[in-house]
Amino acid sequence: MKTYRIAVIAGDGIGTEVVPAAIEVLKKTASNGGFACDFTDLPWGCDYYLKHGRMMDPDGVDRLMMFDAIFLGAIGAPTVSDAISARELILPLRQRLLQYVNLRPMRLLTGIRSPLAGRGPADIDMICVRENSEGEYCGLGGRVHAGTPAETAVQTGVFTRQGIERIARYAFRVAQSRPRKMLASATKSNALQHAMVFWDEVVAGVAKEFPDVTYVKYHVDALCARMVTHPQTLDVIVASNLFGDILTDIGSAISGSLGVAPGGNINPDRTHPSMFEPIHGSAPDIAGKGIANPIAAIWAGAMMLDHLGERPAHDRILAAIERVIGDERVKTPDLGGKASTKEMTRAVTDALA
Ligand code: IPM
Ligand code: MG
């Protein structure tokens, strides 16, 4: 039987609640689908940091190379500075495992109310292809003259032709595979005359390879507004690392709840394992209460199976999610209900049958 080796980093806060929930769904889907997933827990995260002084083992990246994929919960805790927890775990993994695509569907599911008045599922169905390896997140920069009036910080954005070309090409292919075949590129070339003028030039060059895709560029501020005022005009969005981070929080907010939105950190060349995660964080305010919405993690798990080549299994999980959400009987508090994580998970596993 085909067996996939999955590294599991449940991480912090509600990560440790939604990951087991999603694994339950993945196991059931696998046994129905004639394949298996072999899950290996890695204890990395903020508690690990407090004990060992580092977010993950020094040979962490090498060890992850042995797996077919990585399933991540959430990283972050009030006890550890966010700059440490993100910069020493999530961001190095995305960079060192060459996961240069961050793929984030933003869809209003039937049964969820958008905070945008009068909008339904037909209006909000987009997917963001976020550059995940360079740009504003490259990590280059420094700080000098600490504690003096001359204290200075520089944080540099790095944009390479190779980096822009590959993310644009991936985004055009995603657009090509969707019925509307539309791609919006987030730019800011009116103010960032080096990086974003370059971004526009390279994306426009790649656009020539995809004459069947309608390509439009928007300044990112206007695109933020458009997501709120005219979400129905957007299909696929391609964006730099920071712009994509911001746009996808808007996208998941207008889709009704951060508790539903999944993401994949993908290495399209498959030279290194890809990593799948709910896009919500560790939510310390509700951690330990058993009420976190497991849907984002379950959906991220489905994306992982799709990446591993199990498209029918992905589709079965999505159908189960849609059935449970559409039915509106079982809802966690983020969706206005009273169900627990366990009840919601149970509803999804029952709907898989
Ligand atoms: C995300 C998160 C991360 C990011 C943080 C934790 C560094 O907000 O995955 O969207 O900014 O990429
Ligand atoms: Mg974010």
Domain limits, the chain:
1-104+260-353, 114-255
Atom of ligand 1 nearest to the CA of 82: 6
Rounded Cα gap, residues 315 and 89, in angstroms: 30
Contact 321, 83 (CB under 8 A): no
Query: Cβ atoms within 10 A of the Cβ of 332, count?
Result: 23
- Interatomic CA distance for residues 335 and 259, integer angstroms: 8
Enumerate residues 6+ apart whose C-beta is below 8 A from 149: none
Cβ–ligand 1 distance for 279 under 6 Å, the answer yes
pLDDT, tens digit only, all 353 positions of the chain: 999 999 999 999 999 999 999 999 999 999 999 999 999 999 999 999 999 999 999 999 999 999 999 999 999 999 999 999 999 999 999 999 999 999 999 999 999 999 999 999 999 999 999 999 999 999 999 999 999 999 999 999 999 999 999 999 999 999 999 999 999 999 999 999 999 999 999 999 999 999 999 999 999 999 999 999 999 999 999 999 999 999 999 999 999 989 999 999 999 999 999 999 999 999 999 999 999 999 999 999 999 999 999 999 999 999 999 999 999 999 999 999 999 999 999 999 999 97
| DSSP result, 54-82 | SSS-TTHHHHHTTSSEEEEEE--BTTB-H
CB of residue 182 inside a 6 A radius of ligand 1: no
Q: How many angstroms separate the CA atoms of 167 and 205, rounded?
A: 13
Of 72, 103, 74, the C-alpha closest to 6 is: 72
How many distinct helices (H) and strands (E) make up the chain?
A: 12, 12
d(CA 42, CA 22): 16
Find out whether the beta carbon of 245 lies less than 6 Å from any atom of ligand 1: yes
- pTM score, two decimals? 0.97
Q: For 114-255, CATH number?
A: 3.40.718.10
Residue nearest to atom 5 of ligand 1 (CA): 86
Distance CA 327, CA 329 (A): 6
How many whole angstroms separate alpha carbon 271 and alpha carbon 284? 35
- Atom 6 of ligand 1 has which residue's CA nearest to it? 86
Active-site residues, by number, are: 137, 188, 221, 245, 249
Q: Is the CB of 12 under 6 A from ligand 1?
A: no
Q: Which ligand is nearest to the CA of 86?
A: 1
Read off φ and ψ for residue 295, nearest 5 degrees: -60, -45
Ligand 2 centre from 127 Cα, in Å? 15
Q: Find the 273 Cα to ligand 1 centroid distance in Å.
A: 19
What is the Cα–Cα distance from 116 to 31, expressed in whole angstroms? 39
Q: Could you confirm whether domain 1-104+260-353 is CATH 2.60.40.420?
A: no
Same fold flag, 1-104+260-353 and 114-255? yes
Asked whether 266 and 103 are in contact (CB, 8 A), the reply is yes
Burial per residue of 175-203, b for 16 or more beta-carbon CB atoms within 10 angstroms, e otherwise: beeeeebbbbbbbbbeebeebbebbbebb
Q: Distance, CA 32 to ligand 2 centroid (Å)?
A: 34
Q: What is the position in ligand 1's atom list of the atom closest to the CA of 263?
A: 9
